[in-house]
Amino acid sequence: MSETSTAAGTSVQTSAQALACARCGALIADGYVPVAGRASFCSSCRTLVEAWPYPQWLKLGLVGLLVLLGVALVHGEKYFRAGRTMYKGERLVEEKRYAEALPYLKETLKIAPRSDKAVLLTAKAALLTGDMQTAGAAFDGHDSGKFENGKDAEFLEVSAIWNRAVDAMKKAQAAGKLAVHEAEAARMMHEAAAQYPEMPSLRIAADSYDGGVAFEQKDYDTFLAISEKAWKEHADANSASGMASALGCKYAVTGDESFRQRSEEMLQRAFEMAKGDAEELKVLNEFAERNKYRLESRVILTKAEYDKRFRSAQAAKQ
Amino acid sequence: MFFIPGPVIAALTFPGVIVHEAAHLFFCRYFQLKIYNVCFFRFGNPSGYVIHEPSENFTAMFFVSMGPFFVNTLLCVLFCTAAFLPVWELKVFDPLAYFFYWLGLSIGMHSFPSTQDLSNLWTMAPKLAKQGNVLAMVSLPLAGLLVVLNYARVIWADLGYGIAVGVLGPIAIFKALVR
């Protein structure tokens, strides 16, 4: 008797006189001796059922697909690379090592800018290291900031950080426009820095505004203390010139030659640090002129006062 | 939950049907069972079949019945390697990846042996399990699970299985290896 993987009838004839093939129904005339209880087959069907061949198209199809798979895997090597960098970046983000995660995630975005996961991880790492530019670029490169699931927890988290950062930047820009009202500008900048502490430049700017307030109030000790703090935390041409300015003020007020010497030294350092930066050198050259006047005359003028007294006269002469 | 007629699903995932029947055929040949008829694919119910002689050899019957489960699963994983990252995680539009995504899932969706296949095992296994046949002991819970999954096809359990083995599993493994 035959059993089937699916229901299908198979007839069996066991007559000794007229033996028919159970498969094709042809009479079996080759002297085949049937086995009791088992189906009988003609010679051609017997060959077939004992070794059913794999169709040629099946064999070729499988070989073809395996070759194509090889091609796809070679062609898709970059996807494995992108996946590797994305998961490495993901792990680092989970461990709150955002600065280390960012290079990996940027690599992923080169290959998969439309991956929600990669973009959100990159934006999160960038925003939490104060790098709004990278975060913005990641969003722009991803369907102009459109995501599949606006209720996804990851999306909502990154969205909240982005909005916080944008608000802080708006406050910082507003502070920058309050040129005359140093105290108000300082207050706003401190708010911006508190709102987005991940961006150190906001805090540095807030300290700088504090220095401006101290200068305005003629509190040169505070001005110097703030400048020293800025120099210690981020030594660059800007903080060096800030130190030079504060030291120049202290010399102007006290007459202590050590302040003058240090002011000149800091200005020299500022020029060394600004080498190659045309914009920075331009600013330094402008400041150097005013600082020189401050050290020689021991008169402290704001930039506006100096411009009004000396530069507008020069412009008039020209 | 939406319903699509079985023949339509079979037509859309025909490679899986072909591989399923080819797996039956392979193990029938391996265990030297007589094969009376083979249909790799047709528009009907069932969409494919392999008619073969029965066997008292439980190992043979196990592999003939469960063959598609192993072979289809293996090929599903294999073909989905070209797709699980670009399609699922990276959202890259690569036609070749999408082709293998369809191919791998189609094969994975037809991993489950039919209820007829499983009933053959279910008939033989209990007695042999009592006699200490390890394969029989393993096959009982496996067959039980597969019967349930078979019926759960109406809620796309077959697609879920294909995605689980072809995509989610490899992603988890890849992640673990990389991290």
User: What is the ipTM, given to two decimal places?
Assistant: 0.87
CA B67 to chain CA mean position, Å: 8
Residue A280 has pLDDT above 90, yes or no: yes
Q: Give A233's contacts (C-beta < 8 A, 6+ positions apart).
A: A204, A239
State pLDDT tens for residues A247-265.
Answer: 999 999 999 999 999 999 9
* pLDDT at residue A26 greater than cutoff 60: yes
Share of chain A above pLDDT 70, in %: 89
CA A89 to CA A78: how far, in whole Å? Answer: 16
CA of B26: which chain A residue's CA is closest? Answer: A54
Find the range with the poorest average confidence among A215-229, A246-260, B144-158: B144-158
Highest mean pLDDT, choosing among A36-40, A131-135, B112-116: A131-135
Count up the domains in chain B and report the number: 1
Q: Compute the CA torsion angle A178, A181, A182, A188 (nearest 10 deg).
A: -60
B96 vs A contacts (CB less than 8 Å)? 68, 71-72, 75-76
The pLDDT-based confidence of B120 (bands split at 50, 70, 90) is: confident
Summary mean pLDDT of chain A? 89
**A109/A111 Cα distance (integer angstroms):** 5
Q: Would an 8 Å CB–CB cutoff place A35 in contact with chain B?
A: no
Nearest to A10 among B24, B36, B89 (CB): B36
Nearest Cβ partner of B174 from A49, A52, A83?
A83
Residue of A nearest to B97 (CA): A72
Query: Chain B contact for A88, CB < 8 A?
Result: yes
Between CA A272 and CA A240 the distance in angstroms is 10
Q: Does A314 score more than 80 pLDDT?
A: no
- Give the confidence band of A5 by pLDDT, cuts at 50, 70, 90: very low
Q: What are phi and psi of A3, to 5 degrees?
A: -115, 155
Whether B144 has a pLDDT exceeding 60, the answer reads yes
Min mean pLDDT across A7-16, A107-116, A202-211 is at A7-16
Distance from CA of A68 to the nearest CA of B (A): 9
Has residue B102 been placed in a domain? yes
Q: What residues in B contact A86, CB-CB < 8 Å?
A: 89-90
B29: containing domain:
6-178
Q: Which of B46, B165, B174 is nearest to B107 (CA)?
A: B165
Q: Can you tell me the mean pLDDT for B160-169?
A: 93
CB atoms within 10 A of CB A197: 13
Is the minimum CB–CB distance between A55 and chain B shorter than 8 Å? Answer: yes
- A17 Cα to chain B: minimum distance (Å): 24
DSSP B84: I
Domain for residue B1, yes or no?
no
Distance, in Å, from the CA atom of A118 to the CA atom of A165, rounded to the nearest integer, reads 20
Query: What pTM did the predictor assign?
Result: 0.78
Reply yes or no on whether the pLDDT at A91 is more than 50.
yes
Instruction: Report if residue B130 sits inside a domain.
Output: yes
Contact in structure between A109 and A139 (CB atoms under 8 Å): no
Contact B22 A115 (CB under 8 A): no
Domain A77-148 has CATH 1.25.40: yes
The distance of B37 to chain A (nearest Cα, Å) reads 8
Span B169-177, average pLDDT: 90
Q: What is the pLDDT at residue A173? A: 94
Please state the rounded mean pLDDT for residues A17-40. 75
- Partner-chain residue, chosen from A5, A51, A115, that has the shortest CB–CB distance to B51: A5
* Nearest chain B Cα distance for residue A149, angstroms: 14
Query: What is d(CA A235, CA A159) in angstroms, rounded to the nearest whole number?
Result: 34
Residue spans per domain, chain A: 1-53, 77-148, 218-317
Q: Residue B32 falls within a domain, yes or no?
A: yes
d(CA B118, CA B150): 10
Average pLDDT of the residues in A105-110: 96
Q: State residue A9's pLDDT score.
A: 43
Which pLDDT value is given to residue B1? Answer: 60
Position A269 confidence tier, pLDDT thresholds 50, 70, 90: very high
* Closest Cβ opposite residue A87 in set B32, B103, B175: B175
- Confidence (pLDDT) at A18: 62
Report yes or no: A9 at the B interface, CB cutoff 8 Å.
no
Of A1, A73, A117, the CB nearest to B81: A73
**Segment B104-129 mean pLDDT:** 90
B interface with A, Cβ–Cβ < 8 A, is 18, 22, 24-25, 28-29, 32, 34-38, 40, 46, 49-54, 64, 78-79, 81-82, 85-86, 89-94, 96-97, 100, 103, 114, 116-117, 120, 174-175, 178-179
Average pLDDT of span B113-126: 87
The C-alpha atoms of residue A144 and residue A284 are separated, in whole angstroms, by: 40
CA of A91: which chain B residue's CA is closest? B179
B49 part of a folded domain: yes
